[in-house]
Copies of this chain bind each other. A is one copy, B any other.
Amino acid sequence: MPVISYRKAINQALEQEMARDARVILMGIDVGGGAGGSGDVGSVGGVMGVTKGLYPKFGSDRVIDTPISESAIIGAAAGAAVTGMRPVAELMFVDFIGVCFDQIYNQAAKFRYMFGGKARTPLVIRTMGGAGMRAGAQHSQTLHPILTMVPGLKVVMPSSPYDAKGLLTRAIRDDDPVVFLESKSLYDVKGEVPEEAYEIPFGEANVLRDGRDATIVAFGAMVPRAVAAADLLAKEGVKVTVLDPRTTSPLDEEAILDSLDETGRLVVVDESPPRCSLAADIAALAVSQAFDALKAPVGLVTCPHTPVPFAPNLEDAYVPSVARIVEAVKKTL
């Protein structure tokens, strides 16, 4: 099987779905790659190069560069979706959600319910999150909790190239609004990815390690760290299950509860500040629905209740580390 990067896997899903379905269009800041310039328009393909090559292939009607107006970008994508297109809008950094959040949670996500089931909004919002790039407080957040809490939205957090392609393909074919949260620290990670198109269903957790001593639930960029922690623990004889729910909404509650039935011990790894986080969400699931299975306090490995700092050493200390995950698991034993 070809080995490609997470970035390329996303690009491939976009290209294949655009080729398959003329209703699929891309729009966002520089997704085409520099409209109106005197040079080689389409040479870039987004600030991270994720959409590279799509403008030359599909042209300006299908790969639409926009002004820096995120409310209009997301709103227009929602409007195009509800009238029959299948737009993939790029919100460059998820940190920018604050200038367009209304169009996401009050508009796109609520159309169907408010209109009594009459609307269909096949909108994908691609965006990237996470720390580690030394990009500072306004370019390093994850913000998946505020998306996960929104009824009407689906939220995807791919943790590998394989998942990225399969989940994005699914997202584009899905009839509901989906936020597809890419981890910028994973763009260069490589893995096996089938050439042909395939879908990974939403709401089905991936089991990356299987062990009966404890369960680690992790999302997005925290998944490789959870796996690394599990492998370190395995060397010490501690066998843990690592679950990657892949979508935070819908959430594969069953997989988590089933695993807890076996292990009775839970650690949640969440790259976000602790309050009202996904870590808290999973812990609440456990204590409300798997109380009898629980043998120890749930370990919450999150960022601190602070913005993301810029200095490299501070930023490294900010994000949940393998060491902290290992420690948290040991505490539950």
Contacts and interface: CB of A to CB of B under 8 A. Distances in A.
Interface in A53-100: 71, 95-100
Contacts of A151: 273, 304-307
Contacts of A299: 288
Given A98-B104, A114-B307, A146-B149, 18 more contacts: A96-B102, A98-B100, A98-B101, A113-B309, A114-B138, A145-B149, A145-B276, A146-B146, A146-B276, A149-B272, A149-B276, A150-B273, A152-B306, A280-B285, A283-B283, A283-B288, A287-B298, A292-B297
B102 A149 contact: no
Copies per assembly = 2
A232 to B, nearest CB: 22
Given A110-B137, A113-B307, A294-B291, A279 B275 contact: no
Contact of A283 (B280, B305, B309): B280
29 contacts: A95-B106, A97-B102, A98-B100, A98-B106, A99-B101, A99-B102, A106-B137, A109-B307, A110-B307, A113-B307, A114-B137, A145-B149, A146-B146, A148-B275, A148-B276, A149-B276, A151-B304, A249-B275, A275-B281, A276-B276, A276-B280, A280-B284, A281-B284, A284-B284, A284-B300, A287-B297, A289-B297, A291-B297, A292-B297
